[in-house]
Amino acid sequence: MVFRIGVDSKRCLPNVVMQSVLNWNVLNTMKYVLCFVLGSICGMGGQVFANENAVEDYVFEKTVQIVFDGSSATVTNDDPENIEVSQTGGDIAIVSELKEGVAVILSGKGGIGSVQIACAEPAKVVLNGLELTGTTIAPIESLSTNRVFVVLASGKENILQEGTNKISGKGILASAGSMIISGTGSLNFEGAVKRHAICSSGGSVIIRGGDILVSSAANDGVHAEVDFQMDNGTLSIPGAVGDGVDCAGDITINGGSILFSSDVADIRGLKCDGQVRINGGLINMNIGGVQSKGIKCTDAGIHGGTMLIDLSGDVLLETVQVLTTNLSRVTTNNYVAPSYCSAMKCSGNTTITAGSVTVTHTGIAGRGISTDGDFIMSGGNLDFYMTGKSSATYKNESASTDVSASDCVVAKGNMNIYGGNLTAIATGNAGDGISCDGEMSIGQSGIKDTPVLTVKTKGSKVALSGSGMSASYANPKAIKSTGNMSIDGGRIFVTTRYDGGEGIESKGSVTINAGVLEIEAYDDCINATKSLVINGGLVYCYSAGNDAIDSNGTLTINGGTIIASGTTAPEEGFDCDQNTFKITGGILIGTGGATSTPTSSQCTQRSIVYKGTGTADTTFQIKSSDGDVLVYKIPRTYSSSGGGGFGGPGGGPPGGGGMVLLFSSPNLDSAVTYTITTGGSITSGSDFHGYHTGASVSGGTTLKTFKPASMVTTVQ
């Protein structure tokens, strides 16, 4: 609440005595302090406003009407005793010490001049069909630190121009305090020389209505030294040389529409030093400049609204020079630091709870969302279509050969995706879907169908250095984390197309507790550097050119249903590079040219390893007198050409053929005789990528009979 009482202050003429303006602002600040104290102690204070930014909650009893005509203007002042108006041609200064607000109504076509306002109370400026071009002074400027309400009269078109001369002040429409724009009329900014279109040099800019068009601005479309807020109306900025909106505080979008387009290098559609909060409205941007950003801020929160951002700018591969001195010797170290064209760049954290975001990119090496902190998503719909190419190779800060690619979502911190829908498609070489340098968590325990992640990479790997077995590549990754990764629910659909494309990769450990994962990759579908643990969920992995599931450390299966199809030898359905492959529960079906053998001493659930041939779409059945334990359609053809391998960790020797199938189930009984048949016909039941449950099988050819007497039984 704000309490107001009248306080005398020194009268001033802002066009003549600038020191008076300083005195005015100092006294005005003292007035509000005194006002608050007296109002609190004595119950004084005049009017109390529930919303001090709502012009409709204020009373403006006094008016000054100004009609411009060329280089002159006609002024009508209904209280000349208390409202002082000075005029030189079309340049007009208004000073009021009234404790009531003053309304200044401006109209007229083809005006050349300016209006400067200094009032002891918030002023209202009504643009009622005004065309005004500034001379050496801003067309409209409020010099006091009080709020100024700019109202765009209904049905009226207004045009403000800086003109050919550089004006004083920082904006074409300027204020020293906060500026609140409302109404249903229109306002167009044209002919900027050096200034912002809208500028508050000491307060916030709030847009509550109106149709605002920045046809041209030599700097920012909107510039505020505190905050920017959009509640309603339309703000279109197709012609700013600088940023669309730039403020030192926070940006809050509650409603309305912001339309921004620019091909200028290194600009931002929305830029602030604080937080960006999007609660509603529409943001539509076309960003074509090198290293330009749609949104740049510290922290970002998307809680509603719709964002459509089309990127076509390229990455900037900037050379950084570092000088180091060792006594008299100076060493120069040069490296390249990429700066991307991004839809959103945050130096802090990004949080998404609701809303819709669609990002497309067609330039070289862009970013959808890039955050230096954590990325947290619990709702909303995110769609990324990054079709940009990769950059040329360069030496990075570590003196290693590197390349920049088009990635959808990148976090230097942790990534937690608890809900919502995220589609990430990267088609450029070495482009990633979603990745983080910290730990990644997907889904929530007990929640089955959310989040939904659809992640696709369609590019191939990029050669960086070396050749043959020692070659180094930048590989496209669909879902990647440097730290540990846990999947606790949701539905995850992953596709990679070309050589080097991996589905899910962690440089730490991967733990899958629940959820549905359907992964088709050229390279490994799931790869963990340290360990892989599956406790539950439905997991389908099909690799076109490598292992289906690969742990460079240990592999533990405690539950779930896992179907893993690797390619021909030496690749495997399950690949465990260390000596511990532990199975204690779940359903495992793995096919490949080879397999890692479960570690008998660590397992509590029986497995069989079958070696033979396999033909695509042929039924493979394991049954006993009590019924089926496995009905599975072979996913691809594994023809016999002299071997293939199975046995210890890492699978069999290279160069073999045929199929090696690993199957484990809690229903395998050491005392029961089982029969393997192939080629039968399946009717009824349900199907999860070839694994049939509740099915009826007729016909088929018997291949083998066996008893799983050992914890791991080999059948061939």
pLDDT value of position 468: 81
626: number of Cβ within 10 Å: 10
Note whether 578 and 599 are within 8 A (CB).
Answer: no
Query: 14 with 6: CB under 8 angstroms?
Result: no
Residue given tokens 């359903």 in the structure block = 587
CB-CB neighbours of 417 under 10 Å: 27
Checking if the pLDDT of 454 tops 60, the result is yes
Tokens 């862009």 sit on residue:
366
Mean pLDDT over 63-76 rounds to 96
Concatenating the DSSP letter of every residue in 341-369 gives -EEEEESS-EEEEEEEEEEEE-SBS-EEE
pLDDT tens across 143-153, in order? 999 999 999 99
Q: What is the pLDDT of residue 323?
A: 80
- At which residue do the structure tokens 């012609």 appear? 239
Q: What is the pTM of this model?
A: 0.89
Q: Which residues, listed in sequence order, are joined to residue 119 by a DSSP beta bridge? A: 96
Question: What pLDDT score does 50 carry?
Answer: 56
Per DSSP, the residues of 258-321 read EEEEE--TT-EEEEESSEEEE-SSEEEEEE-STT-EEEEESEEEEEEEEEEEEE-PPPEEEEEE
* pLDDT at residue 647, as a whole number: 32
Percent of the chain beyond pLDDT 70? 89
C-beta atoms surrounding 579 within 10 Å: 11
pLDDT of 22 above 60: no
d(CA 409, CA 388): 14
The average pLDDT across 233-259 equals 96
Residue 70: name the closest of 112, 106, 108 by CA: 112
DSSP string computed for 488-500: EEEEEEEEE-STT
Residue 699's region, left for phi above 0, alpha for psi from -120 to 50, else beta, is left
Measured from the Cβ of residue 57, the count of other Cβ atoms closer than 10 Å reads 12
pLDDT at 281 exceeding the cut of 50: yes
Residue found under tokens 């998404």? 352
Using the predicted structure, report yes or no on whether residue 4 has a pLDDT greater than 80.
no
C-alpha closest to that of 458 among 481, 480, 492, 429: 429
Percent of the chain with pLDDT over 90: 81
Of the candidate ranges 96-100, 282-286, 539-543, the one whose mean pLDDT is the lowest: 96-100
Predicted local confidence at residue 216, as pLDDT: 82
pLDDT of residue 659: 96
CB of 113 closer than 8 Å to CB of 135? yes
Instruction: Give the domain ranges of the chain.
Output: 1-249, 574-715
Looking at residue 138, its pLDDT comes to: 87
The helix (run of H) or strand (run of E) holding residue 32 is helix 18-42
Chain segment 247-267, per-residue pLDDT in tens: 999 999 999 999 999 999 999
**Contact by Cβ (8 Å): 232, 252:** no
pLDDT digits (tens, 9 = 90+) for 327-354: 777 777 889 999 999 999 999 999 999 9
| Cis before 451 (ω within 30) | yes
CB environment 474-508: b (16+ within 10 A), e (fewer): bbbbbbbbbbbbbbbbbbbbbbbbbebbbbbbbbb
Residue 542 has pLDDT above 80, yes or no: yes
